[in-house]
Structure 1
Amino acid sequence: MRKRLVAAVAVAALTAVAACSPASEPGSDGEQVLRYAPAMFPVSLDTHKYAGEEAVQTAIQQIMEPLVRVEDGKIVPVLATAWENPDPNTWVFKLRSGVKFSDGTPFTAKDVVASYERHKKLDGPLVPLYSTVTSFAATDDQTVTVKTSKPLGTLLSSLTLLFIGPAAKVDSDGFFNQPIGTGPFTVTSFKPDEKLELAANPSYWDGTPKLGKLEFVNIPEVAGRITGLQNGEVDVLTQIPPDQVGSVKGSEAITYSTTPSWTYYFNWFNSNRKPFNDKRVRQAMWHGLNLEGTVKDLFGDLASVAQAPLAQGVIGAPKLSPYKYDPAKAKQLLAEAGYPNGLTTSMQWPLEGGPNIRALAQAMISDWAKIGVTVKPLEKERAQWLEDFGKLNWDMNLQTNVTGTGDADYTLARLYVCSAKRNGYCNPALDKLLLDARSSVDQAARPGLYQQAGQILWDDAVGIFPAELASNAAVRSGVQGFVMPPSGRPLFTKVTVSEG
C-alpha cells in the first residue's frame, strides 16, 4: 500500500494553493471565490478533441453549453428550447432566443453546425454516435435541422456532450486555450496540469452566477486534496476513495454526501479464448463470487451489487436479478464444460483504475480459488493496459466505466454489438435489439428493448458486473447549492460560498 508515500507531493501541491487567501473567504473586493480540486485535472479544454474525457467535460460545461442535458433522468432544454420529429429521419431544434456568447456575439444555428462539423472532423471517440446523421444544417438563425439515414432515437442524449462555440472562432488555432461560450463562466487563465481560473459571465442568459471566481486546482494526490479541504484551501472535493472517507466524514467544517452515479465496475471475459468461449464457464465464474459480501466490505455505502450491465440511473437501464453466490453450482458448471478439476487463467486491470480496484481483484481471485480456478493477477500501467485491452490480449479484464451520455445506448450498443469487437462476443439477436432501440424515436419504447438486451448479456455472462458505484463529495460548510450529478460532472452555476 502506498497511502503514506504521497506526503512530499501533497505538500508541494498545496504550497501554491496556500499562497492564496483561504478558499472560504471572499475575494479582495468581496466577491465569492470557490476552489475545486478535481480527482482528475483536464489535459485540455478542447471538448471536441477530448469529448470522452470526464475531466474535460466537467471544465468545459462551465464555459460552453450543449443544446440539451440530462437532469433527473430526463432530457431538458439548454440552448435548444424545443425539438420535434416531423418524420422518423428528421429532427428539428428550436434555439433559445436572445442568447449571446461571452464576447457579445449573438448565438445562432450556424454556431451549432460549426461546432458539430469540427467535432466530426476531429473524429473523436463519440463521432460513431452520429454515424447515421446525413446532414446537420442551419435552416434559419433559430432552427437546426438534422437528417439521418435511419431513425436515431439516441440523438438527444448524444447532443448532451456537444458543446457549442462561436462559428467564426471555434475552429481557429488556439481557441481552446481560452474558449468562448454561452455558459455561466469565462476563462481568465488556463495552465495545463496546474490551474483553471474562471470568472462569472455577467451576461449569462440564465442569470449571473453568485460566484465571482471559480478555480480548478490540480492537486494530484488524494492526501493532498483532503489536507487542502481540511485546511480551508479547497472548498469542494469529489471522488474520495472509500478508504479515505473517514478523513472528511464527521468534521463540523465539512459536509460529506453520496449520490447515485452512472459509473460501474465490469469484468469482461475474452470470448475468443478458451475456456471463456463456453458460457457455462463464464456463468460458473460469476456464481463463484460472493459479491454481496465483497462489495459491502470494500465500498460500504459507495457501491451496491449491480443489477444490469450498466448503472440503474441511466435512461433505459434494465433491472435484472444478480447471480447468486453458489460455489457448488459453479463447480457443477465447470465440470459440465469439461473442467472438473478447475482451470488456470489470468485477469488484468489498470493501476489505480478505479476505487479499491486492486482489493476488488484480489477478493475475486480469492473466491475463484475456492472453486478450483487459479487466476494470475496482472496489474498494469495504464498505457500498457490500454494497448493490451485494445488488442484483446487478455483473458479477463477488470475496470470501471461510465455511461457518458446517461443513455443506455452509449454503453450497450457502443460496446456489445458484433461490429464493436470489444471482447470476442457476438450475438446477432442482441444486435437487432440494440440497433432497434437506437433507431426508435419513441422514447417510451426503448426501455423494453434494453430490458431484453440486458437479459441476453446477463444470461450469456458476457462479463461479470460486480458493482455500480455511488459518487461522493465533501464541501466546506460555507458552500451552498452544490450538487453532484450522476455523470460525475458538477456544474457550479447555482453554487454560492460564504465565510465558513
Structure 2
Amino acid sequence: MRLTRRHGGVAAAMMAAALAVTGCTTTSQGGGDGEGVPQELTYVPAFFPVSLDPHSFPAEEGTQVAAQQTLETLVTYNDGEAAPLLAESWEYSDDELTLTFDLREDVTFSDGSPFTAEDVKASLDRLIELDKALAPLFDQVTETRADDDHTFSIVTSEPLGTLLASMSLVFIGQADEMDDDAYWSAPIGTGPFVVEDYVADDHVTYSKNEDYWGDPATLDTLEMVNMPEVAGRITALETGEVDVVSSIPPDQVSGIEGQDGVEFIRDPGYLYYFIWFNNNEEPFDDVRVRQAMWHAVDIEGIVSDLYGDGAVPATAPIPQAAFGATDNGAYEYDPDRARELLEEAGYADGFQTSMQWPREGGPNIRSLGQALISAWAEVGIEVEPLEKERAAWLEDFGSMNWDLNLQTNATATGDADFTLNRLYTCEADRLGYCNEEVDDLLGQARNSLDPDERLELYGQANEILWEEAPGIFPADLMNNVAYGSQVQGLELPPTNRPYFSTVSIGE
C-alpha cells in the first residue's frame, strides 16, 4: 500500500478541479502490471528549480529538469549525434553557413495553438538576447529566420559544427508569450506534460498532456517536491512517500543498495568537479605553481575515499562520457616534485591563499575541500576555506572575487565544445587563462562538421589544458537515481536529467 505523499492534498485538489473540466480519471486505463493503479509519481530532484524559465537559467540543472517535461527542443543530442524531436530533418547549405530545419507539422502546444517556426525563432532569439550561460554557444549566429510556418533557418558567420548540439538546449516556448513573466511561471509547451502549479522552493505539479503529438505519457500526475535534507529524502523513499530520488550522496549509497522495494541505477554522466585557479593573480599566473598544487594532491586516494564507486579520477578537463574527451593519464602524486616547482617559482616557503565553494555545491564538497587543503598544507601552502551560501558564492564567482574556486560543472550538451570553448578561450576570460593555441584548436573544432576531425582537435586542446593546469580536475562523478520498485521505464541519461514521459507505476 502506498502512503500519502507530502503534497498529496494540494495535488489532489488541483487534479480534482482539472478533472472536473476534462472529464478524465486519475487511474491508468492501460494494460500490463499497472492496470488500475493510480498513475501518480512524486520525484525529488537533487536541485529544485529556482525557476521554470530555461532561457533565464540555462545552466541550472533543476530548471532544465523541470522545463523539459513540458517544453521541447528541435533535436536531442547524445554520443556526438543529433536525433529529431520537434524537427523532422535538417541540412546545411550556403557553404555550410546556413542550417535549415524542417519542423513537424502535427505539433500543437498544450493549449491547442499551432507550433510554428516563429516560436523557434522567438525562443532562440530570447536565449541569445538574455546573454546568459549558453549565449556564447551562438556567438557566430548572424541571422535566425522563419522561412515559413514549418521551416526555420540559422545563418552563421562561419561553419559551426557544434550548432546541432547547442540547439538541443534551446527549449521552445510560444512566440507571443516570450516577454510575459507570468507565462514563464507555468510555461505552455509542446511536451508530454502540462504545468498545473509551481510554488518556489516547494513543488511543481504536472498533469498529462492529453493532446501530445507523440506517444502520450502514462503518468496522469507528476510532482516534483523540494526536500533539502538528504536523510529526509531517503526516508521518504523507503516509506513510499516519494517514488524517485536523484543523486544519492556517496556516503548514503550503501544504505540504499539492496533495500527491499528500492532500485538503484548508477551510470557515467557529464558532471564533474574542478578547482579553478584565478590565473589573473599571483601566484596562480605561474604555471609551475598550478602544477605544484596538482602534484601535491593524491587525487586517486581522495576520490576513492570520498566517493567509492560514485566517481572516477578525471583524466581530461571534461568527463569521459562527453564527446571529445581523451585520456591524458593521471597527474602523478609527488609532493617532492610539488616542492621543487614551488621553489623554482620563488615560493620555497609556500604562501597563503583561500578557496571558495558553495554550501550546496555537490556531493561531499566540504570533505573534498578539506582533503585538498590538508594536502596543500603538507607542501607549505596555507589555504583558508570559504564555504558560502550559493547566492553569495555566485556573486563572488561571477566577479572573479576569489583565489581558488571549487565546484561541480557539467558538459550539458555532451559535446566538448560546451565546456572547452565556453570556459577556456581568451575571449571567454572566465578564470584569467589564455592560450592562443588552444583558441585556434577549439575554433577549428567548432567550425568543422567532421566528427573525426573534431575529436582530433579536441584531443590536442585537452592535452594542453592538462599540462598547463588552469585548474585541477579531480573527478568525474557518476549519475545515480534511486526509486521504488513500482516505478517502471525510468532511465538515467548522462545529463542526469530524467524524462518521465515513458515512466509508469506498476503493482
**TM value normalised by structure 2:** 0.90
Does residue 53 (structure 1) correspond to residue 60 (structure 2)? The answer is yes
| SS of residue matched to 2:386 | strand
| SS of residue matched to 2:176 | coil
Does the 8 Å CA contact 1:136/1:147 hold for their aligned counterparts? yes
Indicate the residue corresponding to 1:189 in structure 2: 197
What's the offset of the Cα at 1:159?
A: 0.8
What's the offset of the Cα at 1:120?
A: 3.0
Indicate the residue corresponding to 2:73 in structure 1: 66
Does residue 384 (structure 1) correspond to residue 392 (structure 2)? The answer is yes
**20 and 64 in structure 1: CA distance in 2 versus 1, 3 angstrom threshold:** closer
Q: Which 10-residue stretch deviates more, 208-217 or 339-348?
A: 339-348
For 1:222-301, what aligned pairs fall within 5 Å after superposition?
222-301=230-309
**269 and 96 in structure 1: CA distance in 2 versus 1, 3 angstrom threshold:** same
| SS of residue matched to 1:446 | helix
**434 and 51 in structure 1: CA distance in 2 versus 1, 3 angstrom threshold:** same
Partner Cα distance (1:235, 1:316) in 2:
35
Indicate the residue corresponding to 1:347 in structure 2: 355
Indicate the residue corresponding to 1:366 in structure 2: 374
**43 and 339 in structure 1: CA distance in 2 versus 1, 3 angstrom threshold:** closer
**140 and 305 in structure 1: CA distance in 2 versus 1, 3 angstrom threshold:** same
User: Which amino acid letter does the alignment assign opposite residue 39 of structure 2?
Assistant: Q
Indicate the residue corresponding to 1:80 in structure 2: 87
Does the 8 Å CA contact 2:97/2:157 hold for their aligned counterparts? yes
Indicate the residue corresponding to 1:3 in structure 2: none
Indicate the residue corresponding to 2:31 in structure 1: none
Does the 8 Å CA contact 1:18/1:233 hold for their aligned counterparts? no
User: Which amino acid letter does the alignment assign opposite residue 455 of structure 2?
Assistant: P
User: Which amino acid letter does the alignment assign opposite residue 206 of structure 1?
Assistant: G
Does the 8 Å CA contact 1:36/1:236 hold for their aligned counterparts? yes
Q: Which 10-residue stretch deviates more, 450-459 or 44-53?
A: 44-53
RMSD over aligned Cα, in angstroms?
A: 2.1
Partner Cα distance (2:107, 2:9) in 1:
38
Partner Cα distance (1:173, 1:466) in 2:
40
User: Which amino acid letter does the alignment assign opposite residue 97 of structure 1?
Assistant: E
Partner Cα distance (2:470, 2:177) in 1:
45
**47 and 19 in structure 1: CA distance in 2 versus 1, 3 angstrom threshold:** closer
Partner Cα distance (2:464, 2:369) in 1:
25
For 1:209-220, what aligned pairs fall within 5 Å after superposition?
209-220=217-228
Does the 8 Å CA contact 2:27/2:220 hold for their aligned counterparts? no
What's the offset of the Cα at 1:364?
A: 1.2
User: Which amino acid letter does the alignment assign opposite residue 192 of structure 1?
Assistant: A
Q: Which runs of 5+ in 2 are unaligned?
A: 13-24, 29-35
Query: What percentage of aligned pairs have identical amino acids?
Result: 53
Partner Cα distance (1:405, 1:192) in 2:
27
| SS of residue matched to 1:139 | strand
Indicate the residue corresponding to 1:424 in structure 2: 432
Q: Which runs of 5+ in 1 are unaligned?
A: 1-12
Partner Cα distance (1:373, 1:122) in 2:
41
User: Which amino acid letter does the alignment assign opposite residue 474 of structure 2?
Assistant: P
**18 and 361 in structure 1: CA distance in 2 versus 1, 3 angstrom threshold:** farther
Partner Cα distance (1:368, 1:124) in 2:
35
